[in-house]
Structure 1
Amino acid sequence: MKQTIPSSFVGLKINEWYTHIRQFHVLEAERVKREVEREIEDMEEDQDLLLYYSLMEFRHRVMLDYIKPLKEDPSQPEFSELLEDIEGNQYKLTGLLDYYFNFFRGMYEFKQKMFLNAMMYYKRAEKNLALVSDDIEKAEFAFKMAEIFYNLKQTYVSMSYAVQALETYQSYETYNVRRIQCEFVIAGNYDDMQYPERALPHLELALDLAKQEGNPRLISSALYNLGNCYEKMGDLSKAAEYFETSVSICKSEKFDNLPHSIYSLTQVLYKQNTTAEAEKQYRLGLSIAREYNDELFVNLFQFLHALYGKKMDNASVRHTFDFLEEHMLYPYVEELAHDAAKFYMKHGQPEKALTFYEKMVHAQKQIQRGDCLYEI
């Protein structure tokens, strides 16, 4: 007769599993996950512990999707299956379990670019944050808040959370991945404050750390962000070089942010008036965005071609803005309206330019009011 394993012992093992997940140690996380699954079979009955396991399985899947999103692995459950199982038992979630459910679900919504949904879940998680005693878990929450506020262009709030998270991660040598990601968010906020020269050292440090980690995703992201920084500084040639290198890595690794990287490269090439190469990248990027079912970047590529192509396509430009406004993606509206206004001014169409400047100002107002959009 097999001896029953105490649920408290399995709970400690799940905590170990979560530690590896947060450190992006895939092999170790997979190893401990298998141990947990074996031990659960011989565990004394504990419904809360089983729910904790289901939540951690979901978080494990989120990690794998970040590391290698497009890798075909039939052994990994679909997000929909995991969510259905967890949400079927959501009424049983209280305290820390409720925190983890909302925090992990917020990560998933963020991954889907559903930023307001993500914020809603993070705010729900925050109600139980006082129950969290682990410094690293508090830093995880602070980082995710920095990330979402950055995407919603709540710059100073984002910067505050990012610095808070970074101070904790710097004290732990095993959390370099998160440290790098914090540097990205801080640099992005400096860009939004119109201080790209202050962003540069953060990105150079992030690239060095990413190379030390030997992490292709982080290396490609650092190169991409450096390209974006140099574009903000007006050095389009250097920006294009960084974007091209980032695209090369994303292609070889089949990362899900490949459409984003090609889009930024295409945008810079159009602005440099290297139209033939821009058209080539546009066709490639649009094809990949469709392959990845990335509706946002399908629209963004069509906007670039409609605006900068040989024949201006006003209908397609309007269609892209309709899509962005419908999904309340106002940071993209602001950026694209600014680009369109500059383009039409350059081509002697001040009335059209004024229309887009007005659209840009409207988007800025919506961004400033963004903190009212996710109240619960």
Structure 2
Amino acid sequence: MEQLIPSSTVGVKINEWYKYIRMFAVPDAEILKAEVEEEIKHMKEDQDLLLYYSLMCFRHQLMLDYLEPKSLNEERPKISDLLEKIEGSQIKLKGVLEYYCNFFRGMYEFDRKEYIKAIRSYKIAEKKLALVTDEIERAEFYFKMAEVYYHMKQTHVSMHYAEAALNIYKGQKTYTVRRIQCAFVVAGNFDDLESHEKAVPHLQRALKDSKAINKHKLIGASLYNLGNCYYKMKEYDKAAEYIEQAVSLYENDKSDHLPHTLFTLTQIYFKMKDIEKAFIIYKKGIEKAQAINDDVLVAEFNYLKALYIDSIDKRTVFRTFSVLKDNVMYPDLEELALDTANYCKEIGQFENSTTFFDVMVDARIQIQRGECLYEI
């Protein structure tokens, strides 16, 4: 008679697998995943353990989809299918399992740019965070909170969580990827606070560390973020230099980040008044955005043409603003409305400038209301 493996033994191995997932150590994570799957076949039945395994498969998939273009691995299960399987389970989630389910769900919603849904899931997970004794897991949670609040422009809340995460990651040599990602969030928050000079050192360190571990995605992100920082500082030549490098890298890697990077580069050349070059990049960028069916980015490219090529085609500009509102993308709306107002002022269209300043102010109010996510 076969001697069954205790579920506690398999649980320990799943914990080890999760450590490699958090370090983005794909080969090691794949090995542990295979070992866990083999041991489960010879394990005493334990429904909670099987649910924990399903949750870890879900988290494993999030790691792969972050690090590698999906086209390189068509055999992967869909994240949505894994989530449906977990949430369709008849097992009632409790304790740490409830934490992981809501935490991972938040990560999934964040990747879909559903930031409010992500925050709601994270907040449910936070109620169970006291049950998490692993210091690195707490750092993971703090980082993800910092990330989503940064995207919602809740700057000081984001900085609070980013600092908490960094204080843990700094003492861990094997978590270079997360330290780099924390640097992106910290720098982005400094940019939002108009303290760009404080952002630059964080991004330069991130670029150096990204090159040291040879992670193309992070090198590209470091280049892009440095370029975007100099763009906000109105140092357009430096901005274009870094963004061009990011574009080149993303083109070689066939990255999904290419269309958005081309959008920023188009903005830069329009600001530099190199209309011919900007229009060439615009055509390339909108084609890439259409290829990945990114309707929001297509609308934003149309906005650039409406503003700089079509002499402020207000109908198209407001159509883009409407798309951003529908997708609750008020930070993007605030930025574009302010750009539009300043451009109108620059060319002497003061009445239009006032109109777009009003749109910017309304978007800013909506961003401030975005922190009211409590359900009491």
* Fold conserved between structures, TM > 0.5: yes
Amino acid at match of 1:292: I
Compared CA separation, residues 280 and 85, structure 1 to 2 (3 A): same
Offset, 1:225: 0.6
State the match for 2:264 in structure 1: 264
Deviation at 1:374, TM superposition (A): 5.5
Residue by residue over 1:90-139, the C-alpha shift from the partner in whole angstroms, topping out at 9 and shown as x without a partner, is 75211111110110011111011111111111011111111100000000
Distance 2:102 2:93 in 1: 10
Aligned to 1:283: 283
**Residue identity in the other structure for 1:106:** G
Question: Could you tell me which residue of structure 1 aligns to residue 94 of structure 2?
Answer: 94
Q: Which has the higher contact order (CA 8 A, sep 6+)?
A: 1
The Cα of 1:296 is off from its aligned counterpart by 2.1
Tell me what 1:213 maps to: 213
For 2:287 and 2:2, how far apart are their aligned partners in 1?
56
Aligned residue in 2 for 1:229: 229
Q: Which amino acid aligns with 2:58?
A: F
Runs of 5+ unmatched residues, structure 2: none
Aligned to 1:6: 6
Q: How far is 1:8 from its partner?
A: 0.7
- CA 375–205 in structure 1, closer or farther in 2 if over 3 Å, else same: farther
1:298 and 1:68 mapped to 2: Cα distance?
24
Code of the residue aligned with 2:119 in structure 1: it is: M
SS at 2:70 equivalent: coil
SS at match of 1:113: coil
Secondary structure (helix, strand or coil) at the match of 1:104 reads helix
Amino acid at match of 1:192: D
Query: Secondary structure at 2:76's aligned position in 1?
Result: coil
Distance 1:344 1:56 in 2: 52
**For residues 90 and 80 of structure 2, what CA distance do their matches in structure 1 show?**
15
Task: Confirm or deny: 8 A CA contact 2:334 2:364 kept in the other structure.
Answer: yes
1:302 is displaced (CA, Å) by 1.3
Displacement of 1:18 in angstroms is 0.5
8 Å Cα contact 1:162-1:185 kept in structure 2: yes
Amino acid of the residue matched to residue 303 of structure 1? Answer: Y
Letter in 1 for 2:252: S
Count of residue pairs the alignment pairs up: 376
Which blocks of at least 5 consecutive residues in structure 1 are unaligned?
Answer: none
Residue 70 of structure 1: how far off its partner (Å)? 3.0
Identity, % of aligned positions: 53
Instruction: Tell me what 1:346 maps to.
Output: 346
Partners of 1:58 and 1:83 within 8 A in 2: yes
Counterparts of 2:265 and 2:250 in 1: how far apart (Å)?
13
Alignment pair present for 1:66 and 2:75: no
**Counterpart Cα distance in 1 of 2:305 and 2:52:** 48
* 1:312 shift after superposition: 3.2
Distance 1:43 1:256 in 2: 40
Q: Which moved more, 1:287-296 or 1:153-162?
A: 287-296
CA contact (8 A) 1:99 1:129 kept: yes
Counterpart of 2:148 in structure 1 is 148
- Tell me the CA shift for residue 297 of structure 1: 1.2
Runs of 4 or more consecutive aligned structure 1 residues displaced over 6 Å after TM superposition: none
Counterpart AA for 2:85: D
Matches within 5 A, 1:233-248: 233-248=233-248
- Matched with 2:186 is 186
Structure 2 equivalent of residue 27 of structure 1: 27
Q: Deviations over 1:268-296 (max 9, x none)?
A: 01111111211111111111112222222
- Following the alignment from structure 1 to structure 2, what is the Cα–Cα distance between the partners of residues 239 and 216? 19
Deviation for aligned residue 1:330: 0.8
Q: Which moved more, 1:289-298 or 1:133-142?
A: 289-298
Check the 8 A contact 2:55/2:100 in 1, yes or no. Answer: yes
- Describe the superposition over 1:58-94 as per-residue Cα deviations: whole angstroms up to 9, x where unpaired: 0011000100133342321011210110110175211
**SS of aligned partner of 2:242:** helix
SS for the counterpart of 2:56 is: helix
Alignment of 1:114-133 (within 5 A): 114-133=114-133
Q: Give the secondary-structure state (helix, strand or coil) at the position aligned to 2:71.
A: coil
> Are residue 54 (structure 1) and residue 54 (structure 2) matched?
yes
Q: Is the 8 Å Cα contact of residues 70 and 254 (structure 1) preserved in structure 2?
A: no
Q: Which residue is equivalent to 2:172?
A: 172
Partner of 1:371: helix, strand, or coil? coil
**Residues 171 and 90 from structure 1, CA distance in 2 versus in 1: closer, same or farther, beyond 3 angstroms?**
farther
Q: Residue 36 of structure 1 aligns with which residue?
A: 36
TM-score, scaled to structure 2: 0.97
3-state DSSP class of the match of 2:336?
helix
Amino acid at match of 1:243: I
Q: Is it true that 1:299 corresponds to 2:296 in the alignment?
A: no
Deviation of the 1:349 alpha carbon: 1.1
Gap change, CA 1:90 and 1:319, over 3 Å in 2 = farther
CA RMSD of aligned residues (A): 1.3
1:336 correspondence with 2:336: yes
Aligned equivalents of 1:134, 1:78: Cα separation in 2: 29
Q: Deviations over 1:24-50 (max 9, x none)?
A: 001111111111111111111000010
Matches of 1:163 and 1:271, distance apart in 2? 34
Deviation at 1:193, TM superposition (A): 0.4
Deviation, 1:243, is 0.5
C-alpha offsets along residues 126-180 of structure 1, whole Å, 9 cap, x if unaligned?
Answer: 1111110000000000000100110111111111111110110010000010001
Question: For residue 315 of structure 1, what is the aligned residue in structure 2?
Answer: 315
Moved more, 30-39 or 280-289: 280-289
> Which amino acid counterpart does residue 178 of structure 2 have in structure 1?
R
The aligned residue for residue 203 of structure 1 is 203
308 and 103 in structure 1: CA distance in 2 versus 1, 3 angstrom threshold: same
Assess if the C-alpha contact under 8 Å between 2:48 and 2:91 holds in 1.
Answer: no
